[in-house]
Amino acid sequence: MLDIKYIRENPDKVKKACQDKQVKCDIDRLLELDKKRRELLQESESLKAEQNKLGKDQQEKAREIKEEIKKIEPALKQTEQEFDKLMKQVPNLPLADVPVGEGEKDNKVLRQEGKKPEFSFKPKDYLEIAEKLDIIDIKRAAKVSGSRFGYLKGGAVLLEFALVQLAFENLIKKGFIPVIPPVMLNQKAMAGMGYLDRGTDEVYHLEKDNLYLVGTSEQSIGVMHMDEVFEEKELPKRYVGFSTCFRREAGAYGKDTKGILRVHQFDKVEMFVFCKPENSSKEHALLLAIEEELMKMLELPYQVIDICTGDLGDPAAEKWDIEAWFPSQNKYRETHSTSNCTDFQARRLNIRYKGKDGLKFVHTLNGTVFSQRPILAIIENYQQENGSILIPEALRKYMSEVKKIG
């Protein structure tokens, strides 16, 4: 949520930001409601102040004022409800250096890292390799759960837990606090993270319990400190969490229907940071550096993408993706993202810190460490002509020094 004072003082900037993010939001109507809300509040408070000054011998006048206040209350309530609804539809403002664009096609490649593998044979698709090795099974998953599900088995399971161990070992050394969070959130928490005002088709809602399944680990870590105040010396507060995540993939009709690149259920290790506003750009750079460091440890070729305004999503002010090289597709595919959400989520969740100048809202940031997608990139980049898969050197100590699968 943005600061309404900022919207009042910078309506054109906010309108431009909405336009750049491809979001329809009636800022003029929002400001009309804000003005009306403040006028009604002022009128109500003035009447209450007048009422409090009346003596015991002025009860008739007190009753008249009470009736006037009662008449204002329905209009005030209705105005506040419409105002709150519109406020929650205003997206976070992109930072100044974010490229302006309509969508994915306008994202910018910042750099490419790592050497692409050279094969003396035609590289196979990860699913073909994995099915022959019996380490990924989508046919049985479809039988019991439907499309966009898969069983990880044998070596794929060992790869996942090796990635998790690599992530936690390195992040804990850097001062991140490990956490396994809940995967179900109540409405207040999920709405506070900014994922229910648009894009609810992606979210699994358990209606009987009124709980939401998280679509990314950051959602349940970001709400940990809802309605809390940090001491300045506690910041930055950095977490690394592991959880299973759930997405409907409603907007992915016809995309990646084969395999498990885009699924309804997946595991993820995620970084989340609470920091002072002046440090959020530095923290964002740190999260990207950690992601790149781990990718280099795996010796996976990748590229870094600067996400344009139209592809940002509501909470993010700036976002960078990492895409790993998939030889069989002859292209890079997304495996990581990291976002600076400035104070957008903190305002909604009421998360502040006590500084020298009083209470201020923190900034929040998130970044992928590993999901299950790097497993697929490892299978493709480390495939051998005989159908086996070499294990990256960095993972072998977590797999009893096993050097290959198959």
Name the band, by pLDDT with cuts 50, 70 and 90, for residue 54: confident
The counts of H helices and E strands in the chain are 12, 18
Q: CA separation (Å) from 145 to 140, 149, 319, 381?
A: 8, 7, 33, 29
Which pLDDT does position 252 carry in this prediction? Answer: 63
> What is the mean pLDDT of the segment spanning 126-145?
97
Residue 363 has pLDDT above 90, yes or no: yes
- Show the beta-strand stretches assigned E in 40-86: none
pLDDT in tens, 167-177: 999 999 999 99
Which pLDDT does position 198 carry in this prediction? Answer: 75
Name the band, by pLDDT with cuts 50, 70 and 90, for residue 61: confident
Q: What is the mean pLDDT of the chain?
A: 94
* Cα(282)–Cα(258) distance, integer angstroms: 39
* Cα(164)–Cα(185) distance, integer angstroms: 23
* Cα(89)–Cα(91) distance, integer angstroms: 6
355 or 253, which is more confident = 355
Residue 291 has pLDDT above 70, yes or no: yes
> What is the mean pLDDT of the segment spanning 63-84?
92
Which pLDDT does position 279 carry in this prediction? Answer: 98
* Cα(38)–Cα(44) distance, integer angstroms: 10
Which pLDDT does position 56 carry in this prediction? Answer: 75
Question: Domain limits of the chain?
Answer: 4-87, 104-405
Give the phi and the psi of residue 371 in degrees, each rounded to 5: -105, -160
Residue 39 has pLDDT above 80, yes or no: yes
Fold of 4-87: Helix Hairpins (1.10.287)
Among 52-61, 75-84, 147-156, 304-313, the minimum mean pLDDT is found in: 52-61
> What is the mean pLDDT of the segment spanning 212-227?
95
Residue 133 has pLDDT above 90, yes or no: yes
Q: What is the largest CA-CA distance in the chain?
A: 100
pTM over 0.85? The answer is: yes
Which pLDDT does position 306 carry in this prediction? Answer: 98
* Cα(327)–Cα(395) distance, integer angstroms: 21
Which pLDDT does position 206 carry in this prediction? Answer: 96
Which pLDDT does position 254 carry in this prediction? Answer: 67
pLDDT in tens, 76-121: 999 999 999 999 999 999 999 999 999 999 999 999 999 999 999 9
Which pLDDT does position 195 carry in this prediction? Answer: 82
Name the band, by pLDDT with cuts 50, 70 and 90, for residue 50: confident
pLDDT in tens, 318-337: 999 999 999 999 999 999 99
Which pLDDT does position 196 carry in this prediction? Answer: 85
Fold of 104-405: BirA Bifunctional Protein; domain 2 (3.30.930)
53 or 154, which is more confident = 154
Which pLDDT does position 253 carry in this prediction? Answer: 65
Name the band, by pLDDT with cuts 50, 70 and 90, for residue 202: confident
pLDDT in tens, 235-245: 999 999 999 99
pLDDT in tens, 229-288: 999 999 999 999 999 999 998 666 667 768 889 999 999 999 999 999 999 999 999 999
* Cα(170)–Cα(343) distance, integer angstroms: 28
> What is the mean pLDDT of the segment spanning 198-223?
91
Residue 293 has pLDDT above 70, yes or no: yes
* Cα(125)–Cα(110) distance, integer angstroms: 27
Note whether 4-87 and 104-405 share their fold.
no
Among 22-36, 40-54, 276-290, the minimum mean pLDDT is found in: 40-54
Residue 197 has pLDDT above 90, yes or no: no
Using a pLDDT cut of 70, give the percent of the chain over it: 98
> What is the mean pLDDT of the segment spanning 351-377?
96
Q: What letter does residue 177 receive in the DSSP assignment?
A: E
